[in-house]
Amino acid sequence: MKNKGVFYMVVATMFFATMNILVKYIPRVGAVEIVFFRSVVSLVMSYAVLRHQHIYVWGHNKKWLIIRGIAGSAGLLFFFATIKMMPLGSAIAIQYMSPVFTSLLGIFIVKEKVKPLQWLFFGLAFLGVVAIQGFDPRVTTTQVLIGVAGAAAAGMAYNSIRKLKSSDHPLVIIFYFPLVTIPVTGIYLINHWLNPTWFELVILLGIGIVTQFAQYFMTKAYQSDTLSKIASIQYIGIVFAITFGYLLFDETYDIMSGLGIIIIILAVILNVWYKNRTEKVEKNAK
């Protein structure tokens, strides 16, 4: 299939959108406890599949596997915190600065070049995010800084995945995530544990399962194609965030939302088209 990476990332984005909704449905449960439950589910599912497929669970490039685990843990903790504190659309909008960090870090970590025109597309997509959200008085400066920190950590995690492209199986990469998060969140929860209700427990398990699939397809995406192309696909998630926020949580936005959605989709399409075109030209020139 052509553009397998793009396909994988679209599927991952749909699963992440479902995860975001589920997190919103349990406002009583803190971000750290959500990450803990999500990590336990991920650990069990990843280990079971790896053992069943006779894949070495500890991986080969342990340095970057650990870095991916740490960066992914920090990114998810910050992201869940912003989802709990602000409207869904606002949290997603800030999180979607991660493709910019992904591309910037990718220049140094995986030595991927970003064409000047692609920066224009990134800027166009971010302009769409700004148009959708506008100035939201419900969001504080501290919350924005937490969100930006989460986006930067996510950018580092995505580069780590790309770095592990030729050395480790996607499920091994995912397996290292809970190896980091369970001890860290577990220590914190010793004095901050909140007994979930049966409804909250079902939602927490659902978050773990849905996120496992999201992480798998995201990992496949970043191992299948260039960072700058795949990273931009995430912007489609803002469409899901705005739609679900309005339909499920009565979140309202200004009239610029429609224009912003169009701008984002246009920017994503242009970036994928341009990257495919330049890769084809470079290939033919060899």
- Give the model confidence (pLDDT) of 206-215 as tens digits: 999 999 899 8
Q: How confident is the model at residue 254 (pLDDT cuts 50, 70, 90)?
A: low
Q: How confident is the model at residue 198 (pLDDT cuts 50, 70, 90)?
A: very high
Give the Cβ contact number of residue 129 at 10 Å: 22
Q: How confident is the model at residue 228 (pLDDT cuts 50, 70, 90)?
A: low
pTM (two decimals): 0.77
Measured CA distances, 202 to 6, 27, 199, 205, 215 (Å): 31, 14, 5, 5, 20
What does the angle CA 110 – CA 112 – CA 115 come to, to the nearest 5 degrees? Answer: 160
Which of 72-86, 129-143, 228-242 is modeled with the greatest confidence?
A: 72-86
Q: Mean pLDDT over residues 144-149, rounded?
A: 88
CB environment 34-56: b (16+ within 10 A), e (fewer): bbbbbbbbbbebbeebbeeeeee
* Contact criterion met (CB below 8 Å) for 172 and 50: yes
Give the Cβ contact number of residue 281 at 10 Å: 9
Q: Mean pLDDT over residues 2-10, rounded?
A: 81
* Contact criterion met (CB below 8 Å) for 139 and 14: no
